[in-house]
C-alpha cells in the first residue's frame, strides 16, 4: 500500500478517536460546571442564613445593652438602620415576642393599649401552660400588623422550634408554616428563625431553669420564595431549584420551586441536606436546557471533520510530491544589507553573506533556528510583541530593535519583514537587516509625568470639583450638586460662580489659592464652609491637587472636600455616646462608597480622551518615517500605556469592590507565563544590577487550569514591587512549587523591608508603607490590594514576611488543577473593506476625526453628528447602513436616541463607549443596541463588529 493511503487511513482513525475524547471531555466539563454552580448556591444560602442570624444577635445585644428593656421607638430605629428591604431580601421583618404567664396577660394588654394600640389583644384565645405575644415587629407595615399580638407558642410547628431555642439557648429554625401575614394573595410558604432572650442574673444550667428564665424571643419571619430569589435569582437562567422542609423530597414539604413548568436536563442532579439551626432542609438542583453548551457539544464532530479533512489534504500533498523550497542565492549574494529567509514556520532556511558579516553567525549555525535568536535582554518587549502581532496577521512590518551578535555585542537593527504569499497562503518570510547603531542619537528614556491620576486617587472623598485657570468650575460631582442646589451647567456657566457658596470673610483667601496655583504654588489643604442656595451650611476639609499642561503651567485644580460638619458638632458627644460613634462610622463608610464611585467615573472620563490619543498615536506611527519623530511617538505611546495601566487598576479595584470581577478558568502553559513575566522585567532588574532567579520544583506541571491573565497580573505586580524596593546589586528569587492541585509561588527580595505596623495595612487599597513611599518610588497603592482580591478569587491566599533593611517575601497560592495542552488555531488575517454609509454620533472632536479616518480606511463613507438629538434628525433625513452611537452626549444621550430610532427601524446600532463593565453592556443590549466597541477603539475589534452587519467590498 502506498504511503499516502496509509497516512489517510491512520489520519481518519485518529480523527474519530479525537472526536470520542473531546466528547468525553465535554461531558465531564459539563458535570464540573454544574457542580460548581450548585455548590456556590449552597454556600450563598448558608451564608445568607448566617447573616440573618447575626441580625437577631444584634437585636439581643440591643436588649442586653439596655438592661433587658428596649422601647418600641428604640426597636424601630434599630430595624430601620438595617434597611431590610434593600439589604436582606426575603426577610419579612424582625420582631420581639414576649413570654407571659396567665396572670400576666391582662397587665400586658393594658400596657400595650396604653401605648396607643386600642385594638391590641393576644390571640388565638384558649388556655395554655405558657403564652407568648408579638409586641414588636418592624417594619410595622400593613402585612406585619396582622401578626401583632399573635401567640406563636399556640401553633405546634412554631412551638417545637421555640422549645428548642429555650432548652439550648441557641438559634432555632422552624419547619414549614403559613405566616399570619399572608392575606390570600400571592401566598408563599414560610418559616421562622428564633433566638431566646433570658432574664438577667438567673441560672441557665438546666432545661427547667431556662424555662424559668425565658423572657422572650427575638425572631424573624421569612417568605420562602422571596428569601430564595434574593439568593439565586441571577442563576435561574441556568438551573431549577426545589427546597424541601426536612429530609427527602415530599411535595407536601415543598418550600420553594423556582421553575415548576420548565424542563431540566435529567442526566444532571444535585441533592444535599442542609442542617441549619436544628432543622434540616433538602435542596434539589437541576440544570435547565439552556445550561447545556450546544456550541461545545458540536466540537467533537468539528474536530473529527477537521481531522479527516486534514488527512485528505496531507495525503494529497504526499501524492503530488511537492517540491521543497528552492532559493536563488545569487540574487541576494551581493546585497550590502543582511538578508534572512524563513519558511512558513519562521525557521531560517537562508541567510546571505552580509548577514554573516553583520552578526558573526555562519549559515550552518543559523539554519533551522528562529530569528529571535538575535534578541536579548535589552530588546524592546513592545517591539517584539509588535513583530509577533504583524507576523500573526501575515502583514509586512518595519521597526527598530536592539539585536545581539554571536559574540554578545549589541547593535541597533532597522528591520523590514515581508511575507511571501502563494495562493493566499504564506510560504516564507524575507527580512532585511540594516545596522543603524551609528545613527542613533539618543536613548528613549523620557517618561511623561503621570501624577495627575495619582493625585486624584490620593485626595478623593466626598465633594469633587475641577477648576480651570480662569476660575470656572468645569466639573462638580453629583454629591456637590445635590448639596449646593445647582446643576453642572449652572455651576460652569461663568467664572467664580462658585464664590456664592462661600462666606464673605473667606472669599479673598480662596481666590488667593487660585492665584497662587496660576504661579505654580498649590495650597494642599484647608477647611472652610460651603453654603447651599437653600442657606444650608456645612464645613468641609479640602484637599487640592495641581494639574499642569505640557508647558508646566496650571491647567486645573482638583479639589476634594470631606464633610466634617457632624464631626465638628459631635466631637465631645462621640466620647460619651456610643450611638453617635456608630453614626460617624457609617459616614466614613458612605464616604468610601463615594470614593469607589468616583474612581469608576474618573476612569470613564479619562478613557474617552485616551481613545483619541491612542488612536492617533497608532496612525502617526504607521505613517511616520522620520526616526526622531518616531522616537517621540514611541515615548507618547509608552506614557499612554502607563496611564491605561493605572486606569485598569482603578477599574479592577472598582469591580472588586462591586463584586463584579470574574475569573476565567482556562488551560495555559505555566512555564511560558513564568518565562514571559521574567523576560518582561529583565530590563528593569538590569538597570539596578539585580539578578532575577527562578526556582521551581520538578513536580510542577507544564499546563494548569486557572486564570492566566490574573495570575500574570499578581506575579508581575509582586516582581515589579520587589525590583522597585530592592537595593542595587542584590537579587530577587521567584520560587514555584506544586502540591495537591495547588500552585505555590513566592517572591523574595533583599530590599528595604516593611515595618510590622505597616504590614497590617499593606494589602488595603491606596495604602503604602508611608507617604514618602509614593514620592520616592511612585505607584497608586492599588497593586497589592488588587493582588489580594485576585488571589482569593482564584481560590487561594496571599501573605507577607518582612524584616526592615533585610528584605521581604510575598507568598501566595491558588487552585490550579493539572491540565493537558490544548493547541489553539492561528487567527487568519482579515481585510476590513466594506460597502456602506455610516451615521456616527460622537461629541468629542478628537474622536470624531479618528473615527472618520478609521472608517475611510475601511472604504466607508460617514456622516458625523454631535449628539443623540442630531442623530435622530439625521437618520430621518438620509439612508444609512449602520449607526455608531456614543453613550454620553449633551442634549440627548445615545440610549435615548436608540430608543427613539428603535420605534420605527431595526438598523444595526453599535455602541461606542468608555463604559465597558458587564452591567453597562447588558443595559445597552436591553435598550436596543446590537453590539458595542469599547474605547480606546481597537481597529481589529471595530472591523470585526462591522463585519457582522456590512457587506465586504470586492
Tens digit of each residue's pLDDT (9 = 90 or more) over 217-226: 999 999 888 8
Distance separating alpha carbons of residues 698 and 441, to the nearest angstrom: 47
Cell for 740?
Answer: 495537591
Q: What is the pLDDT of residue 287?
A: 86
Say if 372 falls within a structural domain.
Answer: yes
Q: How confident is the model at residue 884 (pLDDT cuts 50, 70, 90)?
A: very high
Q: Which of 187-196, 317-326, 510-519, 573-582 has the lowest mean pLDDT?
A: 317-326
The secondary structure of 289-312, three-state, reads HHHCCHHHHCHHHHHHHHHHHHHH
Question: What is the tally of structural domains in the chain?
Answer: 5
Average pLDDT, the chain: 83
Residues 598, 517 share a domain: yes
Phi, then psi, of 548 in degrees rounded to 5: -100, 160
Q: What percent of the chain has pLDDT over 90?
A: 36
Residues 512, 489 share a domain: yes
Is 882 buried (19+), middle (13-18) or exposed (0-12) by CB count in 10 A?
buried
How far is residue 293 CA from its own chain's centroid?
25
Nearest to 181 by CA among 231, 219, 216, 217: 219
Residues 205, 164 share a domain: yes
Q: How confident is the model at residue 447 (pLDDT cuts 50, 70, 90)?
A: very low
Q: What is the pLDDT of residue 590?
A: 72
Residues 599, 460 share a domain: yes
Say if 236 falls within a structural domain.
Answer: no
Q: What is the pLDDT of residue 589?
A: 63
- Is the pLDDT reported for residue 592 higher than 80? no
Say if 79 falls within a structural domain.
Answer: yes
Q: Which helix (H) or strand (E) holds 682?
A: helix 682-687
Residues 221, 80 share a domain: yes
Q: What is the largest CA-CA distance in the chain?
A: 118
Higher per-residue confidence, 604 vs 234: 234
Residues 388, 358 share a domain: yes
Distance separating alpha carbons of residues 606 and 453, to the nearest angstrom: 9
Q: What is the pLDDT of residue 253?
A: 87
* CB-based contacts of 574-579 (< 8 A; 24+ apart in sequence): none
Distance separating alpha carbons of residues 466 and 559, to the nearest angstrom: 6
Q: If you average pLDDT over residues 743-763, what whole number do you get?
A: 88
Say if 201 falls within a structural domain.
Answer: yes
Residue with cell string 454552580? 37
Q: What is the pLDDT of residue 597?
A: 56
The secondary structure of residue 799, as a DSSP letter, is E
Q: What is the pLDDT of residue 841?
A: 96
- Is the pLDDT reported for residue 822 higher than 70? no
Q: How confident is the model at residue 410 (pLDDT cuts 50, 70, 90)?
A: very high
- Is the pLDDT reported for residue 868 higher than 80? yes
Nearest to 291 by CA among 86, 38, 480: 38
How many Cβ atoms from other residues are within 10 Å of residue 626's Cβ? 9
Q: How confident is the model at residue 158 (pLDDT cuts 50, 70, 90)?
A: very high
DSSP class per residue in 754-794: --HHHHTTTTSTT--SSHHHHHHH---S-HHHHHHHHHHHT
CATH of the domain at 737: 3.30.565.10
Strands ordered across the beta sheet of 425-435: 348-351, 338-343, 425-435, 410-422, 397-404
Residues 806, 899 share a domain: no
- Is the pLDDT reported for residue 914 higher than 90? no
Contact 75, 144 (CB under 8 A): no
424: left (phi over 0), alpha (psi -120 to 50) or beta: left
- Domain end, chosen from 439, 472, 503, is at 439
Residues 168, 103 share a domain: yes
Contact 900, 891 (CB under 8 A): no
Distance separating alpha carbons of residues 556 and 547, to the nearest angstrom: 5
Phi, then psi, of 744 in degrees rounded to 5: -110, 125
Residues 854, 797 share a domain: no
Residues 401, 363 share a domain: yes
Q: If you average pLDDT over residues 379-395, what whole number do you get?
A: 91
Tens digit of each residue's pLDDT (9 = 90 or more) over 47-72: 888 888 999 999 999 998 888 889 99
Say if 305 falls within a structural domain.
Answer: no
Q: What is the pLDDT of residue 756?
A: 86
Distance separating alpha carbons of residues 5 and 10, to the nearest angstrom: 9
Q: What is the sign, positive or negative, of the torsion defined by CA atoms of 301, 303, 308, 309?
A: positive
Secondary structure E strands in 697-741 = 703-706, 731-739
Tens digit of each residue's pLDDT (9 = 90 or more) over 827-861: 455 688 999 999 999 998 888 998 999 999 999 99
Distance separating alpha carbons of residues 471 and 467, to the nearest angstrom: 6
Q: If you average pLDDT over residues 260-272, what whole number do you get?
A: 76
Residues 681, 793 share a domain: yes
Cell for 345?
Answer: 514556520
Say if 513 falls within a structural domain.
Answer: yes
Contact 910, 928 (CB under 8 A): no
Residues 429, 459 share a domain: no
Q: What is the pLDDT of residue 817?
A: 93
- Is the pLDDT reported for residue 310 higher than 60? yes
pTM value > 0.85: no
- Is the pLDDT reported for residue 122 higher than 80? yes
Contact 173, 277 (CB under 8 A): yes
DSSP class per residue in 309-342: HHHHHHHHHHHHTPPPP---HHHHTT-SSEEEEE
Q: What is the pLDDT of residue 876?
A: 94
- Domain end, chosen from 569, 591, 610, is at 610
- Is the pLDDT reported for residue 703 higher than 50? yes
CATH of the domain at 929: 3.40.50.2300
- Domain end, chosen from 815, 848, 876, is at 815
Domain that holds residue 733: 662-815
Q: What separation in angstroms does the CA of 10 have from each of 16, 207, 310?
A: 10, 79, 12
CATH of the domain at 428: 3.30.450.20
Give the list of residues 6+ apart from residue 181 with CB closer than 8 angstroms, or none. Answer: 92, 143, 144, 146, 147, 221
Distance separating alpha carbons of residues 590 and 462, to the nearest angstrom: 9
Say if 654 falls within a structural domain.
Answer: no
Q: What is the pLDDT of residue 571?
A: 66
Say if 303 falls within a structural domain.
Answer: no
Amino acid at each position: 500500500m502506498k504511503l499516502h493511503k496509509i497516512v489517510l487511513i491512520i489520519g481518519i482513525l485518529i480523527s474519530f478517536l479525537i472526536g470520542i475524547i473531546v466528547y468525553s471531555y465535554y461531558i465531564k466539563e459539563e458535570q464540573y460546571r454544574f457542580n460548581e454552580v450548585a455548590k456556590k448556591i449552597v454556600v450563598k444560602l448558608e451564608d445568607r442564613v448566617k447573616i440573618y442570624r447575626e441580625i437577631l444577635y444584634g437585636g439581643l445585644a440591643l436588649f442586653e445593652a439596655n438592661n433587658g428593656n428596649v422601647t418600641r421607638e428604640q426597636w424601630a430605629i434599630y430595624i430601620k438602620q438595617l434597611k431590610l428591604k434593600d439589604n436582606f431580601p426575603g426577610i419579612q421583618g424582625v420582631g420581639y415576642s414576649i413570654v407571659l404567664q396567665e396572670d400576666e396577660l391582662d397587665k400586658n394588654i393594658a400596657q400595650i393599649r396604653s401605648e396607643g394600640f386600642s385594638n391590641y389583644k393576644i390571640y388565638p384565645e384558649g388556655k395554655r401552660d405558657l403564652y407568648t405575644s408579638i409586641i414588636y415587629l418592624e417594619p410595622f407595615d400593613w402585612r406585619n400588623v396582622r401578626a401583632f399580638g399573635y401567640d406563636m407558642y399556640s401553633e405546634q410547628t412554631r412551638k417545637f422550634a421555640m422549645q428548642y431555642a429555650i432548652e439550648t439557648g441557641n438559634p432555632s429554625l422552624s419547619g414549614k408554616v403559613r405566616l399570619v401575614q399572608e392575606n390570600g394573595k400571592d401566598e408563599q410558604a414560610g418559616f421562622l428563625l428564633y433566638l431566646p432572650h433570658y432574664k438577667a442574673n438567673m441560672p441557665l444550667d438546666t432545661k427547667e431553669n431556662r424555662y424559668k428564665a425565658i423572657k422572650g424571643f427575638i425572631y424573624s419571619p421569612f417568605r420562602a420564595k422571596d428569601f430564595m430569589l434574593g439568593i439565586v435569582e441571577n442563576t435561574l437562567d441556568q438551573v431549577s431549584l426545589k427546597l424541601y422542609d426536612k429530609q427527602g423530597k415530599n411535595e407536601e414539604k415543598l418550600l420553594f420551586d423556582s421553575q415548576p413548568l420548565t424542563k431540566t436536563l435529567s442526566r444532571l442532579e444535585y441533592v444535599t441536606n442542609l442542617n441549619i439551626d436544628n432543622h434540616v432542609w433538602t435542596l434539589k438542583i437541576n440544570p435547565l436546557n439552556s445550561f447545556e453548551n450546544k456550541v461545545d457539544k458540536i466540537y467533537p464532530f468539528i474536530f473529527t471533520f477537521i481531522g479527516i479533512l486534514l488527512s485528505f489534504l496531507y495525503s494529497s500533498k504526499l501524492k503530488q510530491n511537492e517540491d521543497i523550497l528552492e532559493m536563488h542565492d545569487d540574487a541576494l549574494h551581493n546585497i550590502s544589507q543582511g538578508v534572512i529567509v524563513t519558511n512558513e514556520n519562521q525557521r531560517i532556511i537562508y541567510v546571505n553573506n552580509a548577514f554573516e558579516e553583520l552578526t558573526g553567525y555562519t549559515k550552518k549555525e543559523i539554519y533551522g533556528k528562529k530569528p529571535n535568536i538575535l534578541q536579548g535582554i535589552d530588546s524592546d518587549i513592545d517591539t517584539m510583541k509588535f513583530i509577533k502581532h504583524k507576523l500573526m496577521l501575515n502583514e509586512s512590518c518595519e521597526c527598530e530593535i536592539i539585536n545581539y551578535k554571536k559574540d554578545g555585542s549589541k547593535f541597533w537593527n532597522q528591520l523590514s519583514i515581508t511575507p511571501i504569499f502563494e495562493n493566499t497562503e504564506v510560504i516564507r518570510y524575507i527580512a532585511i537587516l540594516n545596522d543603524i547603531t551609528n545613527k542613533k542619537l539618543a536613548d528613549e528614556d523620557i517618561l511623561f509625568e503621570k501624577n495627575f491620576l495619582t493625585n486624584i486617587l490620593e485626595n478623593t472623598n466626598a465633594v469633587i470639583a475641577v477648576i480651570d485657570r480662569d476660575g470656572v468650575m468645569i466639573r462638580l460631582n453629583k454629591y456637590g450638586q445635590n448639596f449646593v442646589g445647582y446643576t453642572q451647567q449652572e455651576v460652569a456657566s461663568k467664572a467664580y460662580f462658585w464664590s456664592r457658596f462661600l462666606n464673605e470673610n473667606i472669599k479673598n483667601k480662596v481666590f488667593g489659592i487660585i492665584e497662587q496655583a496660576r504661579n505654580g504654588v498649590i495650597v494642599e489643604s484647608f477647611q472652610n464652609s460651603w453654603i447651599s442656595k437653600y442657606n444650608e451650611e456645612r464645613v468641609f476639609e479640602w484637599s487640592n491637587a495641581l494639574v499642569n499642561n505640557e508647558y508646566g503651567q496650571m491647567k486645573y485644580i482638583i479639589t476634594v472636600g470631606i464633610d466634617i460638619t457632624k464631626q465638628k458638632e459631635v466631637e465631645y458627644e462621640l466620647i460619651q455616646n456610643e450611638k453617635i460613634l456608630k453614626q460617624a462610622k457609617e459616614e466614613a463608610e458612605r464616604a468610601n462608597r463615594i470614593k469607589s464611585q468616583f474612581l469608576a467615573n474618573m476612569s470613564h472620563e479619562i478613557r474617552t480622551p485616551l481613545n483619541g490619543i491612542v488612536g492617533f498615536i497608532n496612525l502617526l506611527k504607521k505613517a511616520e518615517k522620520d526616526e526622531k519623530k518616531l522616537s517621540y511617538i514611541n515615548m507618547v505611546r509608552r506614557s499612554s500605556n502607563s496611564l491605561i495601566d493605572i486606569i485598569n487598576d482603578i477599574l479592577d479595584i472598582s469591580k472588586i469592590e462591586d463584586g463584579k470581577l470574574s475569573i476565567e478558568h482556562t488551560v495555559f502553559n505555566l512555564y511560558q507565563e513564568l518565562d514571559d513575566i521574567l523576560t518582561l522585567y529583565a530590563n528593569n532588574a538590569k538597570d539596578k544590577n539585580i539578578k532575577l532567579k527562578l526556582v521551581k520544583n520538578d513536580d510542577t506541571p507544564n499546563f494548569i487550569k486557572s486564570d492566566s491573565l490574573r495570575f500574570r497580573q499578581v506575579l508581575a505586580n509582586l516582581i515589579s514591587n520587589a525590583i522597585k524596593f530592592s537595593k542595587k546589586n542584590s537579587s530577587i528569587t521567584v520560587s514555584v512549587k506544586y502540591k495537591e492541585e495547588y500552585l505555590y509561588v513566592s517572591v523574595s527580595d533583599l530590599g528595604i523591608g516593611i515595618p510590622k505596623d505597616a504590614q497590617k495595612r499593606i494589602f488595603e487599597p491606596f495604602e503604602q508603607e508611608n507617604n514618602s513611599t509614593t514620592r520616592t518610588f511612585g505607584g497608586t497603592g492599588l497593586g497589592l490590594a488588587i493582588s489580594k482580591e485576585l488571589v482569593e478569587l482564584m481560590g487561594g491566599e496571599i501573605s507577607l514576611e518582612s524584616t526592615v533593611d533585610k528584605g521581604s517575601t510575598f507568598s501566595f497560592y491558588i487552585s490550579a488543577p493539572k491540565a493537558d495542552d490544548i493547541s489553539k488555531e492561528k487567527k487568519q488575517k482579515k481585510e476590513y473593506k466594506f460597502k456602506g454609509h455610516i451615521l456616527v454620533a460622537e461629541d468629542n472632536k478628537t474622536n470624531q476625526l479618528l473615527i472618520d479616518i478609521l472608517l475611510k480606511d475601511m472604504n466607508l463613507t460617514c456622516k458625523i453628528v454631535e449628539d443623540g438629538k442630531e442623530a435622530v434628525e439625521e437618520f430621518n433625513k438620509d439612508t444609512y447602513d449602520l449607526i455608531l452611537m456614543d453613550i454620553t452626549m449633551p442634549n440627548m444621550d445615545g440610549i435615548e436616541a436608540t430608543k427613539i430610532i428603535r420605534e420605527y427601524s431595526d438598523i444595526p446600532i453599535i455602541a461606542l463607549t468608555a463604559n465597558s463593565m458587564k452591567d453597562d453592556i447588558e443595559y445597552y443590549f436591553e435598550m436596543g443596541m446590537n453590539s458595542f466597541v469599547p474605547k480606546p477603539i481597537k481597529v481589529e475589534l471595530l472591523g470585526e463588529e462591522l463585519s457582522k452587519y456590512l457587506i465586504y467590498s470586492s
